[in-house]
Amino acid sequence: MQYHCYMKIWIKLLIGSALGVAFGFAAPETPRMMEALAWLEQFALRVGRYALVPALLFSLAIGIYELRKDARFWPMVLKNLLMIAAASAAVILVGVLAALAVSPSGIPITAEEQLYAVYFDVAGGVKELFPFNMLSALAGEGTFLLPVYVFAFFLGIGLSYDKTYSKPVIALVDSLSRIFFHIASLFVEILGFLMIALSGYWAIRFRGVLQTGVFNELMLMLAVLALALGFGILPALLYLLPKSKGRPRTSPWAVLYGSFGPAIAAFFSGDVNFSLPALLRHAKESFGIRRRSSALTLAMFTAFCRGGSAMVGVVAFIVVFNSYFNIGITAAEIAAVSLHALGISFLLARHPGSGAYAALAALSLGFGRVEEGYLILRPIAFYLIAIGTFLDVMLASFGNYAAARLGGFAEEKKARQFI
């Protein structure tokens, strides 16, 4: 009940975004203005992610310890992996079918030099999971979080060692988890101000792209797809959750309402990690999900369930492919591209702020006939990333709730109690 006297977080984010969009459409698109907004965007992203690593590290470590103590860690990991694979495959399938059915007008093919490189170094990412010094995993920029998760995993296992020695450390890690969660929550409170800069920079670029008219049909199709998936199909899937004895059936619209704030942050930031503090806080204070469940599930979903970004990448790839070749894409090529996109969706952890464009680049370079495809769509890279990140965060939020509900880790709350 204490939240009634405060403005809801989603309202703060919506107001900040609206102010930024209004500014972006009114501001002059001069080099100095673009440089200033680009700087403000980077500053806002840094502030938003400032407290993320310690909050995740200690919450995940104590969550792994508690799950292992109850012998529920590996079953939950397996359940999450199955949900991640199913959700990513379903979203990609919907996107491919929509791209084939709607078939937007071809995009003019222009000669592009490869001045903007997108690195998709899976082997390098695997090496980064185990640096030479374990503690150096905590000294990074906080962009690639998998090394932090590996550190948290071994810390959680270590807490089970010998209670005589580990009990004080367990209490310390538990306290640090709560302290840094509180610090991260304070930063969530100021996200509304940060959204002014992020949405302003987004809007001024969007205005410039709209004026060219080249990509409007593709952008419209992706917007309709995102709205249909995020506000229709994904919430409806929650009806499939089994009804628990003595508990009401899941209300997908309440979960959608609780996911709206992180979704706004995801869209205008284009960065999954920027939205993670909001996801963590909403999981606890809106959905009543216990820490041991939300820390593990959100870590897994935001790292491996990037089906939204992969879907945007494959839709954009099909449109570019059809622009290159009048005969269109064959059924065999569609199957190959879709499977490739599904594989890519599990490998985007190193690209929290460029997921959809990285997926498009990987698809373009992986199919030699359209290697320049991602360069042609570089002017709308920010838009592709925004749509993909929005869907990734919606998948993470719904997946987190579903996993908690299935595992008995969610305490039912009224929508009016949501933050």
Confidence label for 114 from pLDDT (cuts 50, 70 and 90)? low
Confidence label for 111 from pLDDT (cuts 50, 70 and 90)? low
More confident residue, 161 or 211: 211
Confidence label for 239 from pLDDT (cuts 50, 70 and 90)? confident
Q: Decide: residue 356, CB within 10 A, 0-12 exposed, 13-18 middle, 19+ buried.
A: buried
Q: What is the pLDDT of residues 385-414, one digit of tens each?
A: 999 999 999 999 999 998 988 888 878 777
Give me the pLDDT at residue 1, please.
Answer: 40
Structure tokens at 313: 């990448």
- Averaged pLDDT for residues 50-56: 91
Share of the chain above pLDDT 70, in %: 91
Task: With beta carbons less than 8 A apart as the criterion, state whether 41 and 198 touch.
Answer: yes
Q: Could you tell me the CATH number of the domain that includes residue 74?
A: 1.10.3860.10
Give me the pLDDT at residue 109, please.
Answer: 62
Give me the pLDDT at residue 368, please.
Answer: 63
The 3-state secondary structure of 134-150 reads HHHHHCCCCCCCHHHHH
Phi, psi dihedral angles at 411 (to 5 degrees): -100, 125
Quote the number of domains for the chain.
Answer: 1
Residue 110 belongs to what domain range? Answer: 2-417
Report which secondary-structure segment, H or E, holds 226.
helix 216-228
Total length of the chain: 419
Report which secondary-structure segment, H or E, holds 80.
helix 73-102
Q: Which residue has the tokens 């419209």?
A: 220
